[in-house]
Amino acid sequence: MSIRPKKKTVSFYFRFLISIFLIAYVFHKAGLGHLWETVKEAKLNYLLFSVALTPILIWASSWKWQIILRSLGIRLSAGRCFWLYVVGYFFNTVLPTNVGGDVVRAYAVGKSTDRRAEAFSSVFVERITGLSVLLLMAITAFFLALRQLWNFWLNIALILSVVGYVLILLIVLSPRFMAKMTRSIKFKAARILLEKLSKFQNATLALKAHRGTLIFSILNSFLFYLLAVLNVYLSSLAFSSSLGLAEAFIITPIVMVITMIPVSIGGIGLAEGAYYFTFARFGIPGAIGLSVALLMRAKALLAGLCGGIYYSTLGIDIKSELDHDRSRHHVELGDVKGDVRYFSGFEDVMRKKTSPLRKYQEIQIGNPQITSLIKFELLTTLFGYLPGMGGFFFRQLLFPLLFKSCGKGTVFGRSLSLQHSTKITLGKRCVIDEYCRLSAQGDHNSRIILGNEVLLGRNTVLGTRGGHIEIGDFSNIGAGCRLGTTSHITFGNHVLLAANCYIGGAQHRFDRLDVPIMRQGYVSRGGVTIEDNVWLGAGVIVLDGVTIGSGSVIGAGSVVTKSVPPNSIAVGVPAKIKGSRVAD
């Protein structure tokens, strides 16, 4: 998957920096020594009680969601709702993506029932009823403890939360407001979005006829937040806190509201700061508040990992929601019958009866292990397109972990695209310039090997599927070059390619007239070998089955269709021998 700079990059790194700053600030204020002493003296029995409360909290939320779905005509078992909720924790807490857990579970239900508007509405109603109760509790708590909690930034946080809540209700639940927006906006893309939002609005407003469901949702939300209060109380007791149950009723909703403000990554730093601040306001050491926050974070991560394991192993309750339509797994009319290896790795993978996540892992990583997925996503998302000296440093430090092996001193530009990187070996002091793509898809025979001090210029692509690409020491591959093979491409040492060369180690079959060429698979005539000290001018094309002897020079724009003897000078389309570098 290409790691491209996006408009969201600035927002992501801004929130990332805020998270880092808040974490550093809170740890500094609490003091690492005090924090360690607090954690070291934790009481195991209360820790276990706190951990055991986590699935009960998830069950309460998933129960409410199940009832709302039923009112919208979608019937899911309690177990399925529970595990979809746990999978949501995985996307919310473990993966640093822009796809939230709510979107994942709504998409899964909508995909399996073909009722996407209702599925997304169910998640919205479940969340908005919870938010209504939470804001009510937070505002009540704030006024009950006005003396302890009066603070400028806390006031701003509560005001922003209330304003955001009102705007959401206005946009989603007011047909008049929606109609006015639709009439006033002329952009086609925006109007299409509003039409989809209108369907979502209609499905949500349909719940007005189900007052019993809405009342249950409100009561269930109170139950959930009472359990959340108990969760904070038990967690504080684990660290010998003097926090009372009444104070936990004050602190919990305030902290949860603050954590929901989208100024950091997943609330990281914000939650820790909120716990530290509110505990300190009640005369309890900030180190205890921070310890409680870290315990909450650890429990959420544990739940997320459980969700990730469930998601990756394709339990039957979730497989039906995430598999593509069965029709996509059958060969369309006109395809080649029988066992055919398609030229595109994507084609083979997308036809398999497996989940989207497993397909992504097979295309991108080549490894079904969830730990490999997490490592790849973390490193590429956080540092893949980080600009400047910081990006240069972190990629040089951490990107070697993605490869089979990587020699010292190798550096990486930003926005690389890597596929099956554990089949790629890099020598010492290599330079992989920005926007390069290295793909070693296919079976265990696929591999890419770069020798020492190899330079891959900007936007170069190396791709193999079931074959191998080997580039010798001190070779220089110019910008925009393309090397692709299903057999082999082998370069000797000191090979020089100018910009935009193409080296092809396979070609499509085209002997049948009754089948599209792209469906006929591919053949290889033996791959491409370029021996030591060869120079290819700009835009040279070398076709499958060619060997270029050592010391040869190929003129710019030439197409090499036949092997070239050593020390030859070849030019033209097709390339012909025009001379020799060896004196007569």
Q: What is the mean pLDDT of residues 531-548?
A: 95
Answer yes or no: 420 catalytic: no
Lowest mean pLDDT among 355-369, 382-396, 482-496: 355-369
Question: For 144-205, what is the HEC assignment?
Answer: HCHHHHCCHHHHHHHHHHHHHHHHHHHHHHCHHHHHHHHHHCCCHHHHHHHHHHHHHHHHHH
**pLDDT over threshold 90, residue 502:** yes
Which residues of the chain are in CATH 2.160.10.10 domains? 370-509+522-578
* 1-5, 350-354, 421-425, range with greatest mean pLDDT: 421-425
Q: What is the mean pLDDT of residues 517-534?
A: 83
User: Any residues with CB less than 8 A from the CB of 527 and at least 6 apart, and which?
Assistant: 467, 485, 487, 488, 489, 490, 505, 544, 545
Structure confidence by residue, pLDDT tens digits, 453-470: 999 999 999 998 878 999
User: Any residues with CB less than 8 A from the CB of 309 and at least 6 apart, and which?
Assistant: 370
Q: What is the mean pLDDT of residues 182-190?
A: 59
Structure confidence by residue, pLDDT tens digits, 203-241: 566 666 677 888 898 899 899 999 999 999 998 888 888
Residue with tokens 């080997």: 470
pLDDT at 2: 42
**pLDDT over threshold 80, residue 80:** yes
Lowest mean pLDDT among 317-326, 339-348, 451-460, 538-547: 317-326
Q: What is the mean pLDDT of residues 156-169?
A: 70
Continuous segment of H or E residues that includes residue 483: strand 482-485
Cβ–Cβ under 8 Å, residues 420 and 444: no
Residue with tokens 């025979």: 445
**pLDDT over threshold 60, residue 304:** yes
Rounded Cα distance, 303 and 514, in Å: 53
pLDDT at 127: 83
Tell me the pairing of strands 576-580 and 568-571: antiparallel
Q: What is the mean pLDDT of residues 463-492?
A: 92
Cβ–Cβ under 8 Å, residues 386 and 5: no
User: Any residues with CB less than 8 A from the CB of 204 and at least 6 apart, and which?
Assistant: 121, 124, 125, 172, 173
pLDDT at 447: 92
Per-residue confidence at 349, pLDDT binned at 50, 70, 90? low
Residue 470 φ/ψ region, left for φ over 0, alpha for ψ in the -120 to 50 degree band, beta for the rest: beta
Percent of the chain residues topping a pLDDT of 70: 79
Burial of 397 (C-beta count, 10 Å sphere; 0-12/13-18/19+): exposed
The architecture of the domain spanning 370-509+522-578 is 3 Solenoid (2.160)
**pLDDT over threshold 50, residue 323:** no
Residue 487 φ/ψ region, left for φ over 0, alpha for ψ in the -120 to 50 degree band, beta for the rest: alpha
Q: What is the mean pLDDT of residues 83-103?
A: 72
Cβ–Cβ under 8 Å, residues 71 and 54: no
Tell me the pairing of strands 507-508 and 522-523: antiparallel
Residue with tokens 């930003």: 414
Residue 73 φ/ψ region, left for φ over 0, alpha for ψ in the -120 to 50 degree band, beta for the rest: left
What is the spatial order of strands in the sheet that 502-505 belongs to? 417-419, 437-439, 461-464, 482-485, 502-505, 541-542, 559-560
Q: What is the mean pLDDT of residues 365-388?
A: 86
Q: What is the mean pLDDT of residues 236-262?
A: 84
Which of 28, 330, 468, 508 is labelled catalytic? 508
Q: What is the mean pLDDT of residues 447-454?
A: 96
Helices and strands (H and E) in the chain: how many: 19, 25
